[in-house]
Amino acid sequence: MLTLATVEPTSSKAPVLTTGDLTLAVAMDFENVAQDFFVAKSVPPKKQVSLILPGIKDIQIHDWITANRACITSLSFDGFIKELCENYLQNDWEDQIRNQILPSTLASSGKSFWNWSQQLLSLNCLLCNTPSVLDDTALCNHLEAHLDNELKEKVKHSEAQNDKVFKTWVSTVRVLDKAHTTKNKRQLDLIEGALQCQAKHQVTDANALCGHSHRNNAATSTSTTASNCLAPLTEGKHTLLNEHDSCTKCHCFYVGHCSHNCTLGFPTAKGYKTLTIADALAAKKSKATTKMNTKAVSTTISTVDSSNDNIAAAVAVLPQSPGGYTSDSDEDTDVSHHDVSAPIRVKHLFWNCQIHGLINDFPVKTKALLDNSAHLVLICPELVAELGLKRYHLQVPEIVDIALKNSDAKQKCKLFDYIKISFTSLDSVWTSCKAKAIISPGLCAPVILGLPFLQHNSIVTDHANRSCIDKKTNYDLLNPPPCLPPSPPSLTYMNK
């Protein structure tokens, strides 16, 4: 496998050309870095070649320089680069670059139009001063001819068809491609959602059929069924179950579900124990003990240290177990039990959104916690790595407390880096102002949007209605308008 040479720029010395095969791109990079060095150090033309020769580390090129030093040092820098390319570039390098440009298409590249066009433009720049270079008109025609069919049709009916100035044409097609990609992605999401919904219905129907078949089979042995069936609940037993947040189907106390979503089924008469108040109290005590032992906090929590006013943290406490996110409270919402008091807990406000990164052409979907008790915007390092966004260093680190699992002790943690980021709704209708999100490990959600985000975007939170509305646009982050598929084209347009 061939090893390509690379260019290593330095601040105080001439650039270094490492050992390896020389390509035209590497040669041009070496030339540009050397020119910058000459300007920075005010090197006169006569000394330019002599200064860069020690930085060339390839043995073959070094031997060539040693054998022809007097002739080489008398050359201008442009003349030296020309001699270097003629001696060490492959004879067919021009054909190789041209063969990369001509067969390339938008579909085969797997990239967005902008990234694909910039790649071809970079390759074309390598052909400057050669017969194979494409001028702006030829490059523009080549790009247009190799678009995919849908984008090509959009370009044909847009302003780009009449404006063939390369820069403005590329900018116009870039906007059309972005809108086209967003529309296709939205339609794919709708189709995927419909398929998932259909799959759930099919599973439900299959379970119902299995249950029906089981009941039919059970009906064939009426004597066994009659002996195993329990008598209907009396009014007293029904009241006992409701008062202790129990299921009237499986007759279990404090199980965290009610009759309509019970998966345990009806108990049988064999071995059945009569329900008592003592059993209910014992189940309640056991559940409370289990919760105290299993619920652990794994997130950055808000604290105030009197000895250091700079120590603070930012987020709401969340339980680590998945069940903590799906239940409104410990209390069972049985239809026969009505309680006018406030619930023990309610669901957190999570916003499903998307973020545009630098690694992938498509945005990354994520879940953000909207927390008006947090004074920071936080993001987990795993999501930062997936997005590939630039990191910035805080001049003064943020100091927070980390709550350790199964421990009362707190560990102070310094947060040093942050990124600049904006968030977009899944329907691509609403985009936030750019925020500074501090990178923090151990978060309870991939992103925590605290007061800086809510304040800067004029977000008003209505906890009762579970809504987060932008005052300027009236867009509700938690309750976006339905995304309907586009209407089919009219017959008149199709006939055209």
Secondary structure of residue 56 in the 3-state scheme: strand
Check residue 399 and report its DSSP letter.
E
- The list of the chain residues with pLDDT below 50 reads 1, 212-226, 293-337, 404-405
**Cα–Cα dist 315/46, whole Å:** 64
Contact 106, 144 (CB under 8 A): no
Strands 300-301 and 424-425: unpaired
**Cα–Cα dist 28/308, whole Å:** 55
Please state, in angstroms and as integers, the Cα–Cα distance from residue 218 to each residue in 140, 176, 226, 473, following that order: 74, 63, 10, 60
User: What pLDDT does residue 315 have?
Assistant: 45
Buried b (16+ CB within 10 A) or exposed e, 448-480: bbbbbbbeebebebeeeeeebbeeeeebbbbee
Tokens representing 293 are: 């032992």
**Cα–Cα dist 483/486, whole Å:** 9
**Cα–Cα dist 480/496, whole Å:** 36
Phi, psi (deg, nearest 5) at residue 29: -65, -45
Tokens representing 386 are: 């997936």
Strands 392-403 and 378-379: unpaired
Dump pLDDT digits (tens) for 213-253. 444 444 444 444 445 666 777 777 777 777 777 787 787 87
Helices (H) and strands (E) in the chain, counts: 18, 13
**Cα–Cα dist 432/209, whole Å:** 48
Dump pLDDT digits (tens) for 34-52. 888 888 888 888 888 888 8
Buried b (16+ CB within 10 A) or exposed e, 53-66: bebbebeebeebbe
Task: Classify residue 434 as left (phi > 0), alpha (psi -120 to 50) or beta.
Answer: beta
Output the pTM of the full model. 0.36
Instruction: Report the chain's terminal Cα–Cα distance, integer Å.
Output: 55
Most distant pair of Cα atoms in the chain: their distance: 112
Q: How many CA atoms lie within 13 A of 149 on its CB side?
A: 0
Secondary structure of residue 8 in the 3-state scheme: strand
State the Cα torsion 115-119-120-123 to the nearest 10°. 170
**Cα–Cα dist 206/212, whole Å:** 10
User: What pLDDT does residue 482 have?
Assistant: 80
Closest CA to 136 of 169, 96, 178: 169
Strands 410-421 and 424-425: unpaired
User: What pLDDT does residue 487 have?
Assistant: 66
Letter for the amino acid at 362? F
Q: How many CA atoms lie within 13 A of 449 on its CB side?
A: 28
**Cα–Cα dist 362/351, whole Å:** 19
